[in-house]
Amino acid sequence: MGVAVRVIPCLDVAAGRVVKGVNFLNLRDAGDPIELARTYYEQGADEITFLDVKATVDNRDTMYDVVRATAEQVFIPLTVGGGVRSTEDVSRLQASGADKVGVNSAAIARPGLIDEIADRFGAQCVVLSLDVKRSTTVPSGFVVTTHGGRTETTIDALAWAVEAIERGAGELLVNSIDADGMKTGYDLELITAMREISRVPVIASGGAGKLEHFAPAIAAGADAVLAASVFHNGELTVADVKRALAESGVVTR
Amino acid sequence: MSTAQPSVVVLDYGSGNVHSAAKALELAGARVELTADRDRAMNADGLFVPGVGAFSAVAEALAKVGGGALIEKRLIADRPVMGICVGMQVMFEHGVERGNQAPGLGEWPGSVTELDAPVLPHMGWNTVEAPEESRLFAGIHDERFYFVHSYAVQQWQLDPQPPFTPPLVTWAQHGAKFIAAVENGPLTATQFHPEKSGEPGIRLLKNWLQSL
């Protein structure tokens, strides 16, 4: 009983194609985000997240098309992050079929963006996306980074999460830059620290490599687990992950 | 159902992801139009009222297109209306958000109040307890539906005496027990998003379409 833990595949999209390794045998076009989203939907994904990794103005229309085409055949919540800078961006994404938007660097540059989106579309629409790195330069030991972890800010990740929730963020997508791509498991201390300060749902991201990595993230306090490459390159299916979670006593759909 | 393919107007008044709602209803078998035109909305076999965000914002946006009067007029004429999420909440008397009370359409008595739960919004797939006689949940058992909300109606107050048929109320739980769906004559509503609840959601929409 109770709300089920969500398993969320994340698709990094650039110019209408999925970037990062994709190795699916049964797909006609391995890099097609729409087809990949549909496959995950059929495997039991609870939500799909698209990350527009090259969110330039030119690329924007392609992303709207991807969201629209996906929303026509995938009837689960869709989140789109990357390049969301204004309520107009949110409005267009929502009109295309997105349910939630991820905000990251634009909110760091101008935190009021969170209030604006939450006021107009509701807190449930705003996912604060954080790229977090361990660092001794900030009190909590977790610093916010930008540009995919390449640029370190002076912002304490926990303090920023608290502020963003006060401003109206309805969910935290916590991505560990240290764990990302390592496939050695989620950063459990980071998840626990975020859970302690957050009343809104926490999505764990970064580091998933094996089936046994998912349940500990939930035990550490995550409400949802997100992964990208393990799904794209066919190492794990969404169904595998949900089965492993259920075997560990975690409630899944 | 009068025709093979029922017509549904998804009320387009600037709230929420109407694109997905329209596509899900099409998949469920409806001929769908997205509009706020009063005549079209009045004449469709079914009127679908989406709604996300703050209660007061949804109520205001609905008022701008004359949504309240339209819904009232349809219900008096026994023409089906289905409200989703905040589109369900506004059917009640009022919403209480951050201590402020905003008026709803008052089709049902009661208030929409914040859930007492450790994690809010209630975001994700949850179970529901539907009454045996439910037409909306007919053939749908042991399935989860997608919820995303922090506020809900936590008490059902309408208890009509015979000859009126008592409404069918479906419950769910997140911290507290709350109303997940209501079937009350021509007025149907769900707190969860059937258009975002995968196959079970589509089946539920089919059930509604069959009742039109």
Tell me the β-bridge partners of A52.
A13
**Pair type for strands B46-49 and A17-18:** unpaired
pLDDT for res A57: 59
- Range of the structural domain that residue A24 is part of: 6-247
The pLDDT confidence band at residue A26, using thresholds 50, 70 and 90, is very low
Encode pLDDT of A145-204 as tens digits. 998 788 999 999 999 999 999 999 999 999 999 998 889 999 999 999 999 999 999 999
**SS3 (DSSP) at A242:** helix
The residues of B whose Cβ lies within 8 A of any Cβ of A are: 16-20, 23-24, 27, 52-54, 57, 118-127, 144, 146-150, 173-174, 193, 195-199, 201-202
Encode pLDDT of B54-78 as tens digits. 899 899 999 999 999 999 999 999 9
The residues of B assigned a catalytic role are 85, 193, 195
- Give the residue from chain B lying closest to A200, CA to CA: B120
Nearest one of B185, B177, B176 to B211, comparing CA atoms: B185
CB contact under 8 A, A120 and B53: yes
What residues of B are in contact with residue A99 (Cβ under 8 Å)? 17, 20, 148, 196
Residue A252 domain-assigned? Answer: no
Q: Does ipTM surpass 0.90 in this model?
A: yes
Residue A10 corresponds to which amino acid? C
For the segment A236-249, the average pLDDT, to the nearest whole number, is: 97
What residues of B are in contact with residue A223 (Cβ under 8 Å)? 119, 123-124
Which tokens is A181 given?
A: 């791509």
Q: Kindly tell me if the per-residue pLDDT of A46 is higher than 90.
A: yes
**Pair type for strands A126-134 and A100-103:** parallel
Residue contacts between A and B (CB atoms, under 8 Å):
102
CB contact under 8 A, A223 and B123: yes
Largest separation between any pair of C-alpha atoms in chain B:
47
CATH number of the domain at A63, please: 3.20.20.70
CB contact under 8 A, A75 and B150: no
Answer yes or no: are the C-beta atoms of A198 and A172 closer than 8 Å: yes
For the segment B72-87, the average pLDDT, to the nearest whole number, is: 97
Secondary element (H or E) of residue B55: helix B55-64
- Other C-beta atoms within 10 Å of B132: how many? 7
Q: Kindly tell me if the per-residue pLDDT of B119 is higher than 80.
A: yes
**SS3 (DSSP) at B97:** strand
Q: What phi and psi, each to the nearest 5 degrees, are found at residue A240?
A: -60, -45
Average pLDDT, chain B: 94
For chain A, first and last CA: distance in Å?
10
Residue A1 domain-assigned? Answer: no
What residues of A are in contact with residue B148 (Cβ under 8 Å)? 77, 99, 124
A228-240: string of b/e by CB count within 10 Å (b at 16+)?
Answer: bbbbbeebbbbeb
The residues of A assigned a catalytic role are 12, 131
- Give the residue from chain B lying closest to A38, CA to CA: B198
Matching residue, tokens 């009509």: B160
Lowest mean pLDDT among A6-20, A22-36, A99-113, A225-239: A22-36
Answer yes or no: are the C-beta atoms of B129 and B171 closer than 8 Å: yes
Encode pLDDT of A103-142 as tens digits. 999 999 999 999 999 988 999 999 999 999 999 999 999 9
Smallest Cα distance from B183 to chain A, Å: 23
Say which of B54, B120, B147 has its CB closest to residue A199: B120
CB contact under 8 A, B119 and A223: yes
What residues of A are in contact with residue B195 (Cβ under 8 Å)? 75
- Give the residue from chain B lying closest to A76, CA to CA: B196
Residue B167 corresponds to which amino acid? P
Encode pLDDT of A47-72 as tens digits. 999 998 876 656 678 889 999 999 99
CB contact under 8 A, B195 and A199: no
Hey, CA dihedral for A253, A216, A19, A117, is it positive or negative? positive
For the segment B129-156, the average pLDDT, to the nearest whole number, is: 97
pLDDT for res A19: 79
**What DSSP character marks residue A5?**
P
Which tokens is A237 given?
A: 């299916």
Which tokens is B29 given?
A: 């078998």
The pLDDT confidence band at residue A23, using thresholds 50, 70 and 90, is very low
**Pair type for strands A48-52 and A78-81:** parallel
What residues of A are in contact with residue B146 (Cβ under 8 Å)? 76-77
Which one has a higher pLDDT value, B17 or B172?
A: B172
Smallest Cα distance from B161 to chain A, Å: 34
CB contact under 8 A, B20 and A71: yes
CATH of domain B7-210: 3.40.50.880
Number of domains in chain A: 1
Encode pLDDT of B21-49 as tens digits. 999 999 999 999 999 999 999 999 999 99
Say which of B118, B122, B196 has its CB closest to residue A77: B196
Flag whether the pTM goes above 0.80.
Answer: yes
| Distance of alpha carbon B146 from alpha carbon A6, whole angstroms | 11
| Distance of alpha carbon A174 from alpha carbon A191, whole angstroms | 7
Which tokens is B149 given?
A: 């909300």
**SS3 (DSSP) at A136:** coil
Nearest one of B38, B61, B42, B40 to B50, comparing CA atoms: B61
CB contact under 8 A, A2 and B126: yes
The residues of A whose Cβ lies within 8 A of any Cβ of B are: 1-6, 41, 46, 68, 71-73, 75-77, 94-99, 119-125, 170-171, 199-201, 223-224, 253
Residue B210 corresponds to which amino acid? Q
Residue B60 Cα distances to A241, B20, B47, B56, B135, angstroms: 43, 22, 19, 6, 31
Ordered DSSP codes for A174-196: EEETTTTTT-S---HHHHHHHHH
Angle, helix B18-28 to helix A57-71, in steps of 10 degrees: 30
Average pLDDT, chain A: 92
What residues of A are in contact with residue B204 (Cβ under 8 Å)? none
Secondary element (H or E) of residue A17: strand A17-18
What residues have CB less than 8 Å from A98, skipping those under 6 apart?
Answer: A67, A71, A78, A79, A80, B17
Residue A58 domain-assigned? Answer: yes
| Distance of alpha carbon B145 from alpha carbon B200, whole angstroms | 7
CB contact under 8 A, A3 and B120: no
Matching residue, tokens 């620290």: A193
